[in-house]
């Protein structure tokens, strides 16, 4: 048997995985190791697999992912800070045949946009909400967010979040699972191959639910913010496993309109 070289393997017909065509060629503006890039790619892959690129409208938030419209080759609408679910509601009601999703961070969805999120979920708008939770305001310099963990340092609480003074971290996903309008609520992460595969299945299910007009599908992605947490990328992922997951446990919270975990 002749020895096979790398050049023999790297041929078009042997390709098993490459970046989705729904992503543009623009270099992502995120820090090295940021989970936003993986989350974008999963959305792009799901849209490519479902062949709904021309029927999808995304709503960008304010935050690190504000430039998302540069990275996804989709129709995108920019919303004011926190107002993405309200804008998505309007788009979906005016164009019910389109697939509409919002992509929001924790500062956007869980702080300034709490009212819009809760009411859109309670009304049961037929949209997909992707919520990327890294427990910090990444874009503006790592300030404390509503989702910052107890004792977690940030630039506005350098000695760690003090519950007595700053209040408790907010579990937005458990909160919206209680509302009658949500159909599918889940929490995933994108830091390891296994979790990426699960997150992709969750996003796929969310878009399938929208096709069947089932109500809000809410997918939280617990992500890292290595710049805000001041850790190297791989260490940030380890820190996330040790500290974020005990408070934000991964898994489905509501499936087919029934709460499956407390």
Partner 1 sequence: MAKIRGAILVDVEACKGCGVCIPACPQDVLDLAKEVNGKGYNYSYMKNPEACIGCANCAIVCPDGVISVYKVKVA
- In terms of CB distance, is 60 or 196 closer to partner 1? 196
Residues 232, 251, 256, 260: which binds partner 1 (CB under 8 A)? 232
Residues 180-209 contacting partner 1, CB under 8 A = 190-193, 196-197
Q: Is 61 in the site for partner 1 (CB under 8 A)?
A: no
Residues 2-21 contacting partner 1, CB under 8 A = 4, 6, 8-11, 14-20
- In terms of CB distance, is 31 or 259 closer to partner 1? 31
The pairs formed by 192-200 with CB atoms below 8 angstroms and a separation of 24 or more are: 192/237, 195/250, 196/38, 196/42, 198/250, 199/39, 199/42, 200/42, 200/45, 200/46
CA distance 186 to 144: 24
CA dihedral 211, 219, 63, 172 (to 10 degrees): 130
Q: Which helix (H) or strand (E) holds 56?
A: strand 56-60
Q: What 8-state DSSP symbol labels residue 8?
A: H
- In terms of CB distance, is 15 or 165 closer to partner 1? 15
- In terms of CB distance, is 34 or 120 closer to partner 1? 34
Residues 23, 62, 144, 206: which binds partner 1 (CB under 8 A)? 23
Q: Is 105 in the site for partner 1 (CB under 8 A)?
A: no
Q: What character string, x for contact with partner 1 (CB under 8 A) and - otherwise, covers 29-58? A: -xxxxxxxxx--x-----------------
Closest distance between partner 1 and the C-beta of residue 142, in Å? 18
Buried b (16+ CB within 10 A) or exposed e, 226-257: bbbbebeeeebbeebbebbeeebebebbbeee
User: In 10 A of CB 106, how many CB atoms?
Assistant: 28
Alpha-carbon distance values, 54 to 47, 89, 97, 153 (Å): 9, 19, 11, 43
Q: Is 237 in the site for partner 1 (CB under 8 A)?
A: yes
- In terms of CB distance, is 190 or 253 closer to partner 1? 190
Q: Is 150 in the site for partner 1 (CB under 8 A)?
A: no
Closest distance between partner 1 and the C-beta of residue 86, in Å? 29
Closest distance between partner 1 and the C-beta of residue 157, in Å? 26
Closest distance between partner 1 and the C-beta of residue 121, in Å? 28
- Kindly tell me the sign of the dihedral angle through the C-alpha atoms of 26, 29, 32, 38: negative
CB of 212 within 8 A of CB of 54? no
Q: Is 228 in the site for partner 1 (CB under 8 A)?
A: no
* Residue numbers at the binding site for partner 1 (CB under 8 A): 1, 4, 6, 8-11, 14-20, 23, 27-28, 30-38, 41, 190-193, 196-197, 232-234, 237
């Amino acid at each position: 048997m002749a020895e096979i070289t790398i050049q023999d393997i790297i041929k078009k017909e042997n390709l098993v995985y490459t970046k989705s065509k729904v992503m543009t060629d623009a270099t992502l503006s995120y820090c090295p190791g940021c989970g936003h890039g993986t989350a974008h790619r999963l959305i792009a892959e799901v849209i490519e697999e479902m062949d709904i690129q021309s029927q999808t409208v995304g709503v960008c938030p304010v935050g690190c992912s504000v430039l998302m419209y540069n990275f996804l080759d989709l129709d995108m609408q920019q919303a004011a800070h926190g107002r993405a679910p309200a804008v998505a509601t309007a788009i979906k009601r005016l164009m019910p045949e389109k697939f509409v999703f919002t992509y929001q961070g924790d500062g956007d969805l869980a702080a300034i946009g709490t009212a819009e999120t809760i009411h859109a979920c309670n009304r049961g708008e037929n949209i997909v909400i992707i919520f990327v939770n890294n427990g910090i305001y990444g874009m503006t310099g790592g300030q404390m967010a509503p989702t910052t963990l107890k004792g977690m340092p940030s630039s506005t609480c350098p000695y760690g979040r003090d519950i007595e003074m700053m209040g408790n971290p907010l579990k937005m996903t458990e909160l919206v699972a209680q509302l009658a309008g949500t159909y599918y609520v889940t929490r995933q992460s994108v830091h390891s191959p296994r979790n990426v595969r699960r997150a992709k299945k969750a996003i796929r299910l969310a878009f399938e639910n929208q096709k069947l007009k089932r109500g809000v599908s809410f997918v939280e992605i617990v992500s890292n913010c290595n710049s805000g947490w001041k850790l190297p990328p791989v260490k940030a992922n380890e820190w996330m496993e040790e500290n974020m997951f005990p408070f934000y446990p991964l898994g489905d919270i509501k499936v087919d309109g029934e709460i499956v975990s407390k």
